[in-house]
């Protein structure tokens, strides 16, 4: 751990036709985090028997919906790495493309858990921000929208200030490049609808502020109502402490 404040680790056990295997992982990283698998390190190990080709493909899939969907500060490190090792000690029927579903699901769960832990432990962070985009025209648009919103300094500072500022969320969506039809857009903050079909809805702002200030996470959900594309991204608020850490830390 460097500027990390806590260890990040997880393990998932899977029973596959009687043979039980485990996937366990550890990760580190709290700054320079905007992976494009590139100072984040993650090691995952499993005792499952898995074909080498499927192992690589499954890891790529898991990374795309986890580590490649987090951002702490928008700065990609030159040395982010995720390693996955498998030693086949579980004695299961070898896993390959034709029977890899349970393995993929467990691996995704491990990667998403670790990625969220990294985002939550961002330098100076007080809150995990989860941005869920649904109903996008396509998945690429959903990913771009989720990642742009979670990376926006103005969204991050608003969340730091416990401000349910849907304007900043929608402005980031607008510049993301994803297809948006304003009159179809619904926005939810912690499951409270703050925008319906492009128009702000009345909601208890002071109540929402209180709820945000009492929580170490916030869920921002956008329904674009255009198609089936969906994606989730994770990040954290931007605090004075982030600036303090990175302006006084010299290498």
Residue nearer to a second copy on the CB measure, 20 or 75: 75
Interior CA angle at 108 toward 225 and 8, to 5°? Answer: 115
**Binding map of a second copy across residues 137-156, x = CB under 8 A, - = no contact:** --------------xxxx--
Give the helix ranges, DSSP H, for the chain: 52-64, 101-120, 139-151, 153-160, 166-175, 205-213, 240-248
Interior CA angle at 32 toward 28 and 33, to 5°? Answer: 65
Residue nearer to a second copy on the CB measure, 66 or 151: 151
Token reading at 86: 């498998």
Separation between Cα atoms, residue 128 and residue 59, nearest integer Å: 24
Q: Which of 43, 104, 139, 174 binds a second copy (CB under 8 A)?
A: 174
- Count residues near a second copy (CB under 8 A): 39
* Of the candidates 155, 180, 181, the residue with the CA atom closest to the CA atom of residue 168: 155
CB 219 within 8 A of CB 189: yes
**Binding map of a second copy across residues 222-241, x = CB under 8 A, - = no contact:** ---------------xxxx-
For a second copy, the binding residues in 48-77 under the rule CB under 8 A are: 73-77
Query: Is there binding between residue 213 and a second copy (CB under 8 A)?
Result: no
The CB-of-60 to a second copy minimum distance in angstroms stands at: 20
> Which neighbouring-strand residues pair with 199?
196
Residue nearer to a second copy on the CB measure, 49 or 77: 77
* Of the candidates 124, 42, 34, 37, the residue with the CA atom closest to the CA atom of residue 73: 34
DSSP annotation of 140: H
For a second copy, the binding residues in 2-31 under the rule CB under 8 A are: 31
Query: Is there binding between residue 244 and a second copy (CB under 8 A)?
Result: yes
The CB-of-51 to a second copy minimum distance in angstroms stands at: 33
In 29-99, beta strands by DSSP E: 41-46, 70-71, 81-86
The CB-of-118 to a second copy minimum distance in angstroms stands at: 16
Q: Is 157 a known active-site residue?
A: no
The CB-of-165 to a second copy minimum distance in angstroms stands at: 6
Part of the chain binding a second copy (CB under 8 A), chosen from 56-64, 96-104, 168-176, 185-193: 168-176
Token reading at 160: 């730091």
Which of the residues are catalytic? Answer: 39
By CB under 8 A, name the binding residues for a second copy.
31-32, 36, 38, 73-78, 151-154, 157-158, 160-161, 163, 165, 167-168, 171-172, 174-175, 237-240, 242-244, 246-251
């Amino acid at each position: 751990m460097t500027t990390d404040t806590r260890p990040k680790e997880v393990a998932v056990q899977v029973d596959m036709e009687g043979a039980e295997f485990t996937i366990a992982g550890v990760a580190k990283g709290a700054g320079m985090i905007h992976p494009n698998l590139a100072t984040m390190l993650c090691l995952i190990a499993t005792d499952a028997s898995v074909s080498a080709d499927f192992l690589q493909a499954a890891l790529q899939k898991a990374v795309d919906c986890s580590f490649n969907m987090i951002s702490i500060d928008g700065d990609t490190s030159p040395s982010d790495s995720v390693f996955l090792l498998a030693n086949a000690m579980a004695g299961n029927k070898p896993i390959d493309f034709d029977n890899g579903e349970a393995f993929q699901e467990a691996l995704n769960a491990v990667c998403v858990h670790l990625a969220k832990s990294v985002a939550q432990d961002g330098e100076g962070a007080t809150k995990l921000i989860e941005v869920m985009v649904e109903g996008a025209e396509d998945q690429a648009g959903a990913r771009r929208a989720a990642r742009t919103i979670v990376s926006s300094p103005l969204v991050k500072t608003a969340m730091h200030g416990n401000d349910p500022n849907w304007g900043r969320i929608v402005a980031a969506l607008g510049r993301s490049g994803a297809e948006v039809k304003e009159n179809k857009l619904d926005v939810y903050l912690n499951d409270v609808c703050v925008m319906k079909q492009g128009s702000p809805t009345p909601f208890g702002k002071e109540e929402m502020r209180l709820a945000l200030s009492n929580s170490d996470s916030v869920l921002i959900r956008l329904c674009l109502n255009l198609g089936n594309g969906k994606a989730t991204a994770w990040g954290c608020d931007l605090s004075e402490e982030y600036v303090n850490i990175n302006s006084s830390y010299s290498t």
